[in-house]
Amino acid sequence: MCSFCRTDYSEAVFFCNFVGSNVKIVNQKRPANKPTNRVVLVIANLLLMALISVALGWLALSLLDVWSGHGKELTVPDVVGQNYVSAQEKLIAGGFQVEVADSVYDSRYGRGVVVDQNPHKDTRVKPGRLIYVTVNATSPKSVTVPRLTDISSRQARAILIGLGVKDIEEQLVMSEFKDLVLGARYNGKRLQPGARVPVNARIVLEVGDGMPEFDGIVDTMANAPAERVEHLNLD
């Protein structure tokens, strides 16, 4: 509302100039609204955020390369045949980590000697890589042997091999039950169910030959192999 003319205006701006006793009203259009700077400000902020994101990404990749040793590799030394303590010191000094993965018994090596490593020697790896070593045990690993009798020799072999026992011998004994295990021995002694033996033990299986023990002494001597006849006590 103009203080002079008391005219309400919204679309135009009126300037009242008082000259003498006359009021001169000049109708002047309101300047057109200029494009707001808000859009420009939003675009500028978006560009700034994008630049910051790119810079942070580049910084993160750079730090990752430094932390992971990207582009830097070491050659794994050979520690097989060395005492574990010496092997451990050598690997740690070379920039590696060490962990015992397993222990086995190998008569070719002394007690506590490294018999295998992974990764193997001369492998190129990153610094700080974990090297797994297998150490020779003080004695062979022992296993518990279940009942081996009254089953076929094939089944008994499968059981022993599954336990890790590979040195298996079969001896034929006189029996009408062919291929049936009648007994098992270790170091000359009868092997009882539940006994513990080293995995490198030699297990002797007594297997039936399928021939009747006595259908008459004549039949036995006629059908038995010559070497068995020699063992028959006829006195």
Identify the residue with better confidence: 217 or 174.
Answer: 174
Determine the distance from the C-alpha atom of residue 73 to the mean position of all C-alpha atoms in its chain, rounded to a whole number.
22
The pLDDT tens digits for 189-222 are: 999 999 999 988 999 999 999 887 655 444 545 5
Mean pLDDT of 186-191: 93
Angstrom distance (rounded) from CA 16 to CA 4: 7
How distant, in Å, are the alpha carbons of 75, 128, 215 from that of 114?
Answer: 18, 20, 60
Q: Which of the 8 DSSP states describes residue 16?
A: E
Nearest to 3, CA basis, from 28, 18, 12, 11: 18
Cα separation, 72 vs 69, in Å, equals 5
**Angle subtended at Cα 190 by Cα 174 and Cα 166, rounded to the nearest 5 degrees:** 90
* Higher per-residue pLDDT: 156 or 35: 156
State the average pLDDT over residues 32-42: 69
Distance of CA 190 to the CA centre of its chain: 42
45 confidence band (pLDDT: 50, 70, 90): confident
Rg of the Cα atoms in the chain: 48
Reference 108, options 77, 81, 83; nearest CA is: 81
**24 pLDDT exceeds 70?**
no
User: Distance between CA 21 and CA 37 in Å, rounded?
Assistant: 45
| Residue 155 pLDDT exceeds 50 | yes
Mean of all residue pLDDT scores within the chain: 80
* pLDDT value of residue 34: 52
Give residue 31's pLDDT: 53
pLDDT confidence of residue 77: 96
Q: Indicate the class that CATH gives domain 74-136.
A: alpha beta
Record the pTM: 0.43
33 within 8 A of 45, measured Cβ to Cβ = no
Which fold does the domain 142-229 belong to in CATH? Trypsin Inhibitor V; Chain A (3.30.10)
Whole-angstrom distance, CA of residue 30 vs CA of residue 172:
121
For residue 4, is pLDDT > 70?
no
Q: How would DSSP label each residue in 85-139?
A: HHHHHHHHHTT-EEEEEEEE--TTS-TTBEEEEESPTT-EE-TT-EEEEEEE-SS
pLDDT digits 0-9 by tens, 66-99: 665 556 899 999 999 999 999 999 999 999 999 9
Kindly state the average pLDDT of the residues 121-150.
92
Burial 123-144 (b: 16+ CB within 10 A, else e): eebeeebebebbbbbeebeebe
pLDDT over threshold 70, residue 112: yes
User: How are beta strands 130-136 and 97-104 bridged, if at all?
Assistant: parallel
What is the average per-residue pLDDT within 25-50? 69
SS3 165: coil
Residue type, 85: V
Report which listed range, 16-20, 35-39, 124-128, is most confident: 124-128
How large is the average pLDDT for residues 95-115? Answer: 91
7-11, 119-123, 137-141: the lowest-pLDDT one: 7-11
